[in-house]
Structure 1
């Protein structure tokens, strides 16, 4: 039996490149070079049939440690809460007011990028505080 250690996270969305570039800013990810034979991603897109242009986009951890993120265009819009979401770990090891200050500062940065703040889940004695947000297409994620 093999053990799988590498995976990618796929996002269904309306505008793959827009959502991918948002997540690049959130996570410090980068857009990889375009496919062989193309100087730019725009050149690659232009080579595709019109119905495929802009149908997907990717970004990845520049260190190669984190998962690749794959964004694919789907015809339907988001209707209900995601069943899976990302927890962006900016407050690891911090507690109380120090944690909240770090979460709030990062939340302000992400709102400037187009995220929408949904709410604050306050510490309850078991879990520390986190902030719930939505990305540029309404997918929920947490600042943890």
Structure 2
């Protein structure tokens, strides 16, 4: 293993670190939601600055552009980071990519336990601003819940 996020293949280094970027209308709103949903945090400001606001001022970013982007990171530094970028156009059609938040413990768990875990997580996310799109059942048992974040981006609680 090379530096964090790299794997050695022979003598070559192959990059394995990546960031998922989500286009949105309100980066601060979605950063708050996805931070809650995933347990992610806002990364600290670059070295040498006490706050992001101080950095933005120093970089001459106009104040009306301060919410043009947001970032989230896994507090353990293991999982991919998330970048949220403000775009002028609304989402068109169904997401081509969505997250499955796997909370049930897997399909080998007792049906009652799976359903309780899925419903508890869905309830927590509804309180954070999500909405239920549809529930999916297999042989009468809850399998997963298709949900939408505050801007309508799809995800599932599995």
**TM above 0.5:** yes
> How far is the alpha carbon of 1:50 from its aligned partner?
4.2
Evaluate the alpha carbon distance shift between residue 20 and residue 97 of structure 1 in structure 2; reply closer, same or farther with a 3 A threshold. Answer: same
TM-score by length of 1: 0.88
> How far is the alpha carbon of 1:130 from its aligned partner?
0.7
Higher relative contact order (CA 8 A, sep 6+): 1
Deviations 1:47-106 (Å, cap 9, x if unpaired)?
512453211110011111111000000010112110100011111333412101110011
Mind listing any 5+ residue stretches in structure 2 that lack a counterpart? 1-11
Evaluate the alpha carbon distance shift between residue 42 and residue 136 of structure 1 in structure 2; reply closer, same or farther with a 3 A threshold. Answer: farther
Mind listing any 5+ residue stretches in structure 1 that lack a counterpart? none
**2:151 aligns with one of 132, 137, 142:** 137
Match of 2:7 in 1: none
TM-score by length of 2: 0.81
Match of 2:51 in 1: 40
* Residues 102-141 of structure 1 mapped to structure 2, 5 A cutoff: 102-123=117-138, 129-141=143-155
* Alignment: residue pair count: 142
Aligned-partner Cα distance in 2 for 1:25–1:130? 19
